[in-house]
Structure 1
Amino acid sequence: MLASWLLGTYGDLLLRGALGEVGSTVHMCMGLTVLMILLPRLAWRLIDQQPIPEQTHLGVCEKRASTIAHYALYVLLFAVPILGILTQFIRGHPLPIFGLFEIASPLSADQSLARSL
């Protein structure tokens, strides 16, 4: 996650020309990898029995806060790569799948919407 964020945030500043294309492809592959790891992890989380939480002096408030934070992290782990894919499509560019093939953009190019995403 950290490497993908760094490439997405600072890749344009560090990598120019052909290296920029490679950095962009690596960034997209990292995002796809996050999705590929997250799907079985979520299935495992739903299937496997959770351990009984330790009792703390914070009680119900701590349990609710930790549950909300846990679900928020899962939502963000899904949302960020999905928004990246949508941005790629809205730019009118194909989505490279690990350098093996590309998925053509099903959306028409809209640069202002892509910048907003």
Structure 2
Amino acid sequence: MDYPFKNFNNDTTMKFAEWFRENHKPSDLDYCEELFSKLNEALPKSEKVNKQMKKINIPVLAYHTQTVDEIGMSLKKYGEWIEKFLSSYTPDCEYASLCGQGSTSKVKVMGRLEYVEKQLRESEM
């Protein structure tokens, strides 16, 4: 979208929501629904909740369902990739440096998006 994000904190997100309410096209909502539906389909059904499936990660993983389509990865395989990715999370891993203090900054959000895309593309090599 053509919204000038400076960061992704609560105030900015609420301002975006107000802007979006006035400026979205029906196709924008369809696109969002498609991304989250694909993520829901990809995630393995389990009684046990993955503790790393947090609000900081869900949008990144939903966004990258489009990357999965681009590289030809099945949603089942993407779900397996997500499980492996989240289970390998440690406080000292590279991805963790993009999640802690200041995680709503534009730099860290874009860093998470880029990191996950790189990992996905490399997993298909």
Same fold (TM over 0.5): no
Greater helix share, structure number: 1
Higher relative contact order (CA 8 A, sep 6+): 2
Q: Which has the larger radius of gyration?
A: 1
Greater share of strand: 1
